[in-house]
């Protein structure tokens, strides 16, 4: 399937749920990083509470299929999207603790809006996208990931000192992943899904960072404690790159 096919699937959803309203498609397929098992995300935005789908609390969902592609339909109110704009706009840009209080769902939703393609309501989507400060969103993600890096690195140091190689492996990998995520966000990325980390690194075009992360993840050292130490050193280097980028240092 191609973008035209995704838009056609979106139009079928719009005809059922929101004729004349705001409907947009988003997700990994739209971004060009999905695969044959990826689903297509279709967002239906109502001015009122909306109808249909399975109630998930703040929104409703429904699953459909078109041409063997799963279509995940999210039905949300316009007020919810306005709330996400405000939450991100009100958050201090360099406070990792404050950034950590933003619901992960809201961060994902903001990215979905950023990468959205309109099915119906083109002007409304453009207005919604213009309401977000994307540079600030990326910065909030970067400082949030740096906070998670610090916590994971601290945990890794503790279990290394305790001689727990298996737990050190897990925590050092998480520390490295968070450091890489911080570096990606510091360079403007707002897709916060770890599963697309390698795809995001390839898109960034930084071969050095890609090779650093690959080396850390694939370290097959038999001594788990020593390999965890190496991974932590790599994570620290990557985290420093993110910090320098946020500070405007081009190195």
Residues 69 and 151 in one domain: no
**Quick check: pTM over 0.85?**
yes
Residues 43 and 111 in one domain: yes
The whole-number pLDDT of residue 44 equals 95
Burial 78-92 (b: 16+ CB within 10 A, else e): beebeebbebbeebe
pLDDT band at 220 (very low <50, low <70, confident <90, very high): confident
**Cα separations (Å) of 64 from 79, 117, 248?**
25, 19, 45
> Is there a domain that residue 87 lies in?
no
Whether 136 has a pLDDT exceeding 90, the answer reads yes
Residues 172 and 55 in one domain: no
pLDDT band at 162 (very low <50, low <70, confident <90, very high): very high
Residues 57 and 176 in one domain: no
**Mean pLDDT, rounded, for 15-28:** 88
Spell out the residues 6+ positions from residue 155 whose beta carbon is closer than 8 angstroms to its own: 171
Q: What phi, psi does 43 have (nearest 5°)?
A: -110, 130
Which domain CATH number covers 21?
3.30.460.10
The whole-number pLDDT of residue 223 equals 93
Residues spanned by the domain of 225:
136-246
Overall domain count for the chain: 2
How far apart CA 71 and CA 12 sit, in angstroms, is 11
Q: Among residues 189, 185, 187, 180, which one has the least CA distance to residue 209?
A: 180
> Is there a domain that residue 9 lies in?
yes
Q: Report the percentage of the chain scoring pLDDT > 90.
A: 81
**Mean pLDDT, rounded, for 39-52:** 81
> Is there a domain that residue 175 lies in?
yes
Which domain CATH number covers 207?
1.20.120
Residues 124 and 188 in one domain: no
Contact 69, 39 (CB under 8 A): yes
The whole-number pLDDT of residue 249 equals 72
Domain boundary among 114, 132, 150: 132
The whole-number pLDDT of residue 250 equals 64
The whole-number pLDDT of residue 22 equals 94
Whether 50 has a pLDDT exceeding 60, the answer reads no
Whether 244 has a pLDDT exceeding 80, the answer reads yes
**Mean pLDDT, rounded, for 83-97:** 95
Please write the tens of the pLDDT for every residue from 165-194: 999 999 999 999 999 999 999 999 999 999
**Mean pLDDT, rounded, for 4-27:** 89
Q: Report the percentage of the chain scoring pLDDT > 70.
A: 95
Q: Is the dihedral of CA 38, 43, 49, 50 positive or negative?
A: negative
């Amino acid at each position: 399937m191609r973008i035209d096919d995704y838009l056609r699937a979106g139009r079928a959803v719009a005809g059922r749920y929101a004729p004349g309203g705001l409907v947009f498609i988003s997700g990994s397929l739209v971004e060009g990083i999905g695969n044959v098992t990826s689903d297509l995300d279709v967002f239906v935005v109502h001015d009122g509470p909306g109808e249909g789908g399975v109630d998930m609390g703040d929104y409703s969902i429904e699953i459909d299929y078109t041409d063997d592609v799963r279509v995940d339909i999210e039905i949300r109110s316009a007020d919810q999207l306005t709330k996400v704009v405000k939450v991100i706009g009100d958050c201090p840009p360099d406070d990792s603790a404050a950034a950590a209080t933003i619901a992960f769902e809201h961060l994902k939703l903001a990215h979905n809006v950023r990468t959205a393609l309109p099915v119906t309501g083109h002007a409304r989507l453009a207005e919604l996208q213009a309401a977000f400060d994307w540079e600030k969103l990326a910065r909030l993600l970067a400082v949030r990931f740096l906070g998670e890096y610090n916590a994971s690195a601290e945990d890794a140091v503790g279990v290394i000192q305790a001689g727990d190689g298996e737990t050190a492996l897990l925590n050092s990998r998480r520390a490295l992943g968070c450091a890489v995520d911080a570096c990606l966000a510091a360079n403007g990325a707002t897709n916060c899904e770890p599963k697309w980390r390698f795809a995001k690194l390839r898109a960034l075009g930084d071969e050095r960072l890609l090779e650093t992360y690959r080396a850390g993840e694939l370290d097959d050292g038999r001594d788990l404690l020593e390999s965890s130490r190496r991974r932590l050193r790599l994570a620290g280097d990557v985290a420093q790159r993110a910090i320098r980028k946020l500070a405007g240092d081009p190195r």
